[in-house]
A and B are shown apart, each in its own frame.
Chain A
């Protein structure tokens, strides 16, 4: 049974007040806390290393899988390997996420997620990271996401990390066959002394494949962010990356988008913009009666919405 702290973490990362409908696997403090499978979705514990295999039958439609991880013990270091096998023509949503609440010791969760999308499979993958606890205990998360998209497969990935996590290195890599498409929407906010690195590598190997990496971030206080994206177009394909960052206080943001075209038919674009909140935006909201601080909050919340 989950206690109040754990229930709150579950609500933050998976927007769940109670056990979800459909398939789920809840991991609490490094242990299995609950699992449910359906006729089309099977979840199997790995025997060679920590983690699970999730099998989604071909043609499965409108089903979802929740796989939240919650850590409420200080000093815990958790590492999992989760593999997702999405059958041909399936159309499903997977909601992952990790919440850490620690007082009196550093806690870390490293999740290595590998996705195998069969032909024409469609997946929406939502991942949310959340941390809370005392100021002296560090919360560390290093998610790695590896995506293999077969012909015509489509994956949309939404990742959110709004404060609370002290240190994160997020690695995402993907290879795309013909007609496959990958869209990543990332939102990050760092505060205090936090550090966040996000690193994308996408190989477009099949004709007509496309990748779109969109990152919006806000860096406050003394925090530091690094955005790296490497998009390789190896055939007739379309790649786009966008890093849009608001920098505040004494923060630091580094954006290094890289494009490689190995084919004359590869169409690749990158956009990167880093800047402070525009003065005229603050002034506009102040003429509506907001203080400068309230205006700043509204602009940041809107930007990351």
Chain B
């Protein structure tokens, strides 16, 4: 479905963020993990069209989308949930859900999306997506928007950040249900063991390149087990994993 061929990305001041990243996404769940600053979010933005790669090609269902705009990619079926959701003065939750769904969503439909992400719909449908919402609430609304789109490829950038662990299991169920409905691929950037645990494929991105790639059974033991190997990447991950267990 999605194929990245030798993707490189440099900033305007010639700082190399990604180099020679090749990756295919055909599976149900693909998890991208790795240390902070390794290039994961940049990769997601390159897929969504927010950043144009400085080298390489991107294919989506065999079509070259390397030079396609954000809008055109969205209309082809790529969705992207921001790591830090955007606030809008005046626009309400139901407005954004309607824009995401591409039609006027009824209150019932809007409520369904919101209930999926654990928000009591009645309290939120008419809320403005402004500074009055907490980071966790915004994050859930961001996920609800991707649900409303129901597209072929959904990219989530650290969806768990800001979401309390009490409802964490629900978040995983959201992804599972989403797959059942769309049969599309879901690419999740995450540091959470529980999310890595549902992945069919795990990609470790480090220093702007792919460090490891393979099935969950191949990769997960390696990254969890190498926490004491002195790798900055894995100790960060291990800390987070420990945090969850504690």
Q: Interface centre among A285, A289, A302, A304, by most B CB within 10 Å?
A: A289
A286-B69, A286-B70, A289-B74 known; A302-B48 Cβ under 8 A:
no
Tell me if A298 is interfacial: C-beta within 8 Å of chain B.
yes
B203 in contact (CB, < 8 A) = no
CA distance A278 to B86 in the complex (A): 9
| Set A288, A291, A304: member contacting B99, Cβ < 8 A | A288
B71 in contact with A281 (CB, 8 Å): no
Per-residue 0/1 for A242-271: is the Cβ within 8 Å of any B Cβ (1 yes, 0 no)? 001000000000000000000000000000
Number of interface residues of B (CB under 8 A): 24
Docked complex Cα distance between A205 and B96 (Å): 44
Are A287 and B88 also in contact (CB < 8 A) when A298-B99, A302-B95 are? no
Give the residues from 52 to 93 in chain B that come closer than 8 angstroms, CB to CB, to chain A: 69-71, 74-75, 79-80, 82, 85-86, 88-92
* Interface check A290, CB cutoff 8 A: yes
Shortest distance between the CB of B119 and any CB in chain A (Å): 19
- Contact present for A283 and B89 (CB under 8 Å): no
Contacts of A216 in B (CB 8 A): 90
CA separation between A285 and B95, bound complex, in Å?
11
Contact with B along A174-202 (1 / 0, CB 8 A): 00000000000000000000000000000
B97 to chain A: closest CB distance in Å? 10
Q: What's the Cα separation between A230 and B51 when bound, in Å?
A: 46
Residues in B with CB closer than 8 Å to A284 are: 82, 85-86
Q: Is the beta-carbon distance between B90 and A305 smaller than 8 angstroms?
A: yes
A280 within 8 A of B: yes
Is the pair B89, A302 in contact by a Cβ cutoff of 8 Å?
yes
Give complex CA distance A236, B1 in Å.
Answer: 67
B210 to chain A, nearest CB (A): 24
Q: Are B86 and A302 in contact (CB under 8 A)?
A: no
Residues in A with CB closer than 8 Å to B91 are 298-299, 302, 305
Q: A287 near B70 (CB under 8 angstroms)?
A: yes
- Smallest CB–CB gap between A280 and chain B, Å? 5
Known contacts A285-B99, A302-B91, A291 near B86 by CB under 8 Å: no
Chain A residues positioned under 8 Å from B222 (CB to CB): none
Q: Which residue of A lies closest to B151 (CB)?
A: A289
Q: Which residues of B contact A305 (CB under 8 A)?
A: 90-91
Given A298-B91, A302-B91 in contact, is the A288-B82 Cβ separation under 8 Å? Answer: no
Any chain A CB within 8 A of the CB of B102? yes
Asked if residues B90 and A288 are in contact (CB atoms below 8 Å), the reply is no
Indicate whether A288 sits within 8 Å of B88 (C-beta atoms), given known contacts A283-B50, A283-B70, A302-B95.
Answer: no
Cβ–Cβ contact A287 & B74, under 8 A: yes
Task: Decide if B88 touches A302 in the complex (CB within 8 Å).
Answer: yes
A287 to B156, CA, bound (A): 12
Residues of chain A contacted by B145 (CB below 8 angstroms): 288
In the complex formed, the residue of B with least CB distance to A300 is B90
Bitwise, A38-58 to B at CB < 8 A (1) or not (0) is 000000000000000000000
Question: Contacts A283-B50, A285-B99; is A244 near B74 (CB within 8 Å)?
Answer: no
* B149: Cβ under 8 A from any A Cβ: yes
Which chain B residues (82-123) contact chain A, with CB distance < 8 Å?
Answer: 82, 85-86, 88-92, 95-96, 99-100, 102
User: How far apart sit A240 and B208, CA to CA, in the bound complex (Å)?
Assistant: 49
Q: Give the CA-CA distance A289 to B80 in the complex, in Å.
A: 11
Name the A residues within 8 Å of B74 (CB-CB): 286-289
B71 — which chain A residues lie within 8 A by C-beta? 286, 289-292
Q: How far is the CA of A299 from the CA of B95 in the complex (A)?
A: 11
Cα separation A291 to B92 with both chains bound (whole Å)? 20
**Contact partners of A290 in chain B: CB under 8 A:** 71, 99
A301 to B86, CA, bound (A): 17
Closest beta carbon of chain B to A108's beta carbon, Å: 31
Nearest CB in chain A: distance from B14 CB, A: 22
In the complex, how many angstroms separate the beta carbon of B78 from the nearest chain A beta carbon? 8
In residues 217-256 of chain A, which contact B (Cβ within 8 Å)? 244
- Once the chains are docked, how many angstroms separate the CA of A300 from the CA of B86? 15
Q: How far is the CB of B201 from chain A (nearest CB, A)?
A: 23
Chain A residues with a Cβ under 8 A of chain B: 216, 244, 278, 280-281, 283-292, 298-299, 301-305
Q: A287-B79, A288-B102, A298-B91 are in contact. List 10 more A-B contacts (CB 8 A).
A: A281-B88, A284-B82, A284-B86, A288-B96, A289-B74, A292-B71, A299-B91, A302-B88, A302-B92, A305-B90
10 smallest CB-CB distances across A and B, nearest first, come from A302-B91, A302-B90, A289-B74, A286-B70, A303-B90, A284-B86, A287-B80, A289-B75, A286-B71, A280-B86
